[in-house]
A and B are shown apart, each in its own frame.
Chain A
Amino acid sequence: MRHLVISLIFVLIFPLMSFSEVKEEVLKNGLKVIFIKDTSSPVATFQVWYKVGSIDEPEGKSGISHLLEHMMFRGSKNYPGNVFSKIIQAQGGIDNAFTTKDYTVYFQKLSPSKLQTSIDLESDRMANLLFNSEDFELEKKIVLEERRQRYEDDPESLIIEEVIGLAFKDHPYRKPVIGWTDDIKSISLDDLKRYYHEYYCPGNAFIIVAGDIRIDEVKEKIKEKFEDIPSCSVLRKTFHEPKQYGQKRVILKRQTHLPVLVLSYKVPAYPNKDSIALEILSTILGEGKSSRLYRTLVTEKALAVDVSTSNSPLSRDGFLFFVVAYIKTPEKVDEVERIIKEEIEKIKSEPPTEAEIEKAKNQIEASFLFSQDSVFGHALYLGKFEILGSWRLIEKYKEDIMKVTARDVQEVAKKYFNFDNLSVGVLLPE
């Protein structure tokens, strides 16, 4: 197989970001490789993205994507034992991974001259992961400790987890990425193997190599190691969320000094254009000290210590628009909630000013530029668009943002910020 002449799709794109060169290539087994030539510093990153996250998990097995991520550091056929990090670090590199609701990413940051190490290790664990049962039991214990550290003992994360679980009735986004404790405990090694074979394969993954690299050279090395890994096709589930009737609410009492209020509205994701107008709305409402909510709640009325909003337009499916406020005392929670809702009503009745729209666009432009200050961040940014279908969507995304009008922002506020679309969480001191 290795020596057969193969046909390649090789696409040269006009300089996408104008500051760097991006090329892509799809290997014959369906694995896409994206190259970013970025010479701004003498480093490189190698990232393997698997299009699988908690959204894909079977019922009762929440956390399986994340647990598998842990197992990926416990050795593969040609590199048995937990030697991955050791090998990378001994080359002066750093490796890690993270799992989200939509995807799982494995990465190294290292000198461009050491990329072969990444290629060797990542190709081997894509094809030949070992599933040592002792290691598996250990990783389960470690993940349970991680869950205690990040959620059980951290009420601010817990309230967010509760709100997400409340907002979605059926949609898999209701599950926490780390998984629920009982689910984690119930995962067997066979579950994990099945999951790995179903989702960890060339057709469900892509690679991003970025940095001061010689594209042709790296390309050959990648082909050599990855192209013979058997292909696959993943059946994508369709997601469903029943209509919501009425506002939902969860109240959590835990040891905390500041009460936390979380408002969440279900919203669509890109390429739905509403997601972009919501992005602009987010900067107007709650990003920065000049934002409407910060001004009112923190600066003027001094009811909150902090307030901010967030939207995630680059989700695989529609997710949530959050407003999160850290409130000075429990007695002020209701007042803060009322004011947040008033501010939202204001947008519905009167469109934002032109200056606010311009500010939002300046901020989006700046965050786009600053994301390219690091080779790693640059690659991540592209990867998020590739998850949506293609990294080339970035150009369209930028164009779409620049087209958003004050009227669009007002319209999305009307459309999504409603009683029947709202889930509220309150964290109160015990």
Chain B
Amino acid sequence: MKKFLIICVLTLFFYSIAGATTMDFKTFKLGNGAKIKYLYRDSIPIVYVSVLIPASPLDESKPSVAYLTAHLLTHGTKTMTAQQIEDKIDFLAISIDKKITHDYTMLTLATTKRHLKEALNLFFDVLMNPTFPEEELKKELARVEKSLKQLEEDPSYIAYKTFIKQLFNKHPYGRPVEGEPEELRNITRHDILDFYKKFYNPQAMVFSVVGSIDERELKELIEKPISLWQGSLYNRIVNPPSFKERNEPLKIYVKRQDLTQSTVVLGFEGISRQDPDFYALSVMNYILGGGGLTSRLAKQVREERGLAYSVYSTFSPYLMPGAFYVEVKTKKENTQDVIKLIIEEIKKMKEKEVTDEELKEAKSFLTGSFPLRIDTMKKISEFLPVIDFYGLGDNYITKYPEYIEKVTKEDIKRVTQRILNTQGYIVVIVGKDL
């Protein structure tokens, strides 16, 4: 029942970092290529272990294989059945989260110190010895198909899915990581095994360990099992998306008779994470629609006119260029007006420089709010491997404020000219009576 949705929907590293924060984590590189980032914290007797696996829809033979592979890890190992694993996870009160992004897969183990040993044994077992039993795959496919169909009742999901499909065409960035319900049936156990064999190798993995575990235990309980894990490196071959040149807007309507609001996603091509304009775009996006209630879009659409409860802009800087888009939900009758307002704001952003005050506030927020992005052990544990994956450097935490501070009005102007596409945008409207 919040006053508004917090708009920082980008994963934590997109916004970032305040000067004062330094983090004395250590990095160990093991003989088999795996890396471990380690930070000791003893404020609570808990431990997080994350592992980033460079495997994602970019590497799939069929949609959903990356997602299913990660999810099936806990459905059977050489020595344990799916049920035994579930029993153990619940009994020890631990969790193994699976996150699949368009660029990588990440698993995170959370355990109390009291159950650390058993939790780690289980975690490494599911990571190194999964068996992907046929009947478990069948069950999981049925479950995923059903929940995907349920997801497709959600107007935001439909709007976003339709938008990225148009923007990226057949590129893997153009589909949800969960896949498509109608294509799940073609997936075989062989697809999963093959994906696991090729992409789940320690060489390219980055682990992180954060919490109440000392270095001696780290060596014994974590470094040892990882070091013993052998595998051969399979190089990822990834192709960038190719974007279609558009000279006029593409409007797509998805009719949903049952809805009282229209859900609108309006967007275009964005940038990659390595793009030098990343920081300028971060500042620009904050001013335009990323800054919660204070953004220009929120002011126009929500605060001054009461047309929507939520409106925001965001972008997805992947390994390769991702999307930039605005999402809004508004009463059916107001749909066209709200779209017009959004386009006007985007145009204004292109035509006129941002004000000194806007620039200052955006920078203060982006630099000042960093500690909030890594204010829990869990967040730190998931953050460290990501810094490594995108090559941001171990000093990224201290460098980020500098990168943001360097952004000038001219940089913002340049990035608006480059990114904000007022000619050939894509707009998807999900709603009634269109």
A positions within 8 Å CB-CB of B = 19-20, 38-43, 66, 69-70, 73, 82, 85-86, 89-94, 96-100, 109-111, 137-143, 145-146, 148-149, 152-153, 177-178, 254-258, 287-291, 295, 298-299, 302, 305-306, 326, 328, 355, 358-359, 362-363, 365-367, 369-370, 372-376, 430
Residues of B357-386 contacting chain A, CB below 8 A: 360-361, 364-365, 367-372, 374-378
Whether A40 touches B44, Cβ cut-off 8 Å, given contacts A100-B1, A153-B259, is: yes
Find the B residue at minimum CB distance from A71: B3
What residues of B have a CB within 8 angstroms of the CB of A359 in the complex? Answer: 90-91, 93
- Which among B46, B90, B310, B372 is the interface contact of A363 at CB below 8 angstroms? B90
The answer to whether A111 touches B368, judged by C-beta atoms less than 8 angstroms apart, is: yes
- Which among A19, A70, A99, A366 is the interface contact of B93 at CB below 8 angstroms? A366
The answer to whether A290 touches B91, judged by C-beta atoms less than 8 angstroms apart, is: yes
Residues of B57-96 contacting chain A, CB below 8 A: 83, 86-87, 89-94
Additional A-B contacts beyond A148-B329, A362-B91, A370-B110 (5; CB < 8 A): A110-B372, A138-B305, A289-B89, A326-B147, A359-B90
What separation, in Å, do the CA atoms of A287 and B142 have in the docked complex? 21
Chain B interface residue count, CB cutoff 8 Å, equals 73
What residues of B have a CB within 8 angstroms of the CB of A291 in the complex? Answer: 90
The answer to whether B143 touches A305, judged by C-beta atoms less than 8 angstroms apart, is: yes
What separation, in Å, do the CA atoms of A306 and B371 have in the docked complex? 36
What residues of A have a CB within 8 angstroms of the CB of B304 in the complex? Answer: 138
What residues of B have a CB within 8 angstroms of the CB of A255 in the complex? Answer: 153, 256-258
What separation, in Å, do the CA atoms of A298 and B360 have in the docked complex? 53
B positions within 8 Å CB-CB of A = 1-4, 6, 8, 18, 20-21, 41, 43-46, 83, 86-87, 89-94, 110, 112, 115, 139, 142-143, 146-147, 149-150, 152-153, 155, 256-261, 291-294, 302-310, 329-331, 360-361, 364-365, 367-372, 374-378
What separation, in Å, do the CA atoms of A272 and B87 have in the docked complex? 30
The answer to whether A430 touches B6, judged by C-beta atoms less than 8 angstroms apart, is: no
The answer to whether B361 touches A305, judged by C-beta atoms less than 8 angstroms apart, is: no
What residues of A have a CB within 8 angstroms of the CB of B43 in the complex? Answer: 19-20, 38-40, 372
What residues of B have a CB within 8 angstroms of the CB of A70 in the complex? Answer: 3
Whether A93 touches B378, Cβ cut-off 8 Å, given contacts A255-B256, A363-B93, is: no
What residues of A have a CB within 8 angstroms of the CB of B83 in the complex? Answer: 290, 295, 299
What separation, in Å, do the CA atoms of A298 and B376 have in the docked complex? 33
What separation, in Å, do the CA atoms of A82 and B258 have in the docked complex? 34
The answer to whether B3 touches A290, judged by C-beta atoms less than 8 angstroms apart, is: no
The answer to whether A42 touches B260, judged by C-beta atoms less than 8 angstroms apart, is: no
The answer to whether A152 touches B365, judged by C-beta atoms less than 8 angstroms apart, is: no
The answer to whether A177 touches B1, judged by C-beta atoms less than 8 angstroms apart, is: yes
- Which among B20, B92, B112, B291 is the interface contact of A89 at CB below 8 angstroms? B291
Find the A residue at minimum CB distance from B259: A153
The answer to whether B142 touches A302, judged by C-beta atoms less than 8 angstroms apart, is: yes
- Which among A19, A98, A146, A362 is the interface contact of B92 at CB below 8 angstroms? A362
A82, A295, A302, A366, most chain B CB atoms within 10 A: A366
What residues of B have a CB within 8 angstroms of the CB of A66 in the complex? Answer: 1
The answer to whether A302 touches B139, judged by C-beta atoms less than 8 angstroms apart, is: yes
The answer to whether A305 touches B1, judged by C-beta atoms less than 8 angstroms apart, is: no
Name 20 A/B residue pairs within 8 A (Cβ), A-sorted.
A19-B43, A42-B20, A86-B361, A92-B367, A93-B368, A96-B3, A96-B4, A99-B1, A109-B372, A145-B261, A145-B331, A146-B309, A148-B260, A152-B260, A153-B155, A177-B1, A257-B146, A305-B150, A366-B94, A370-B110
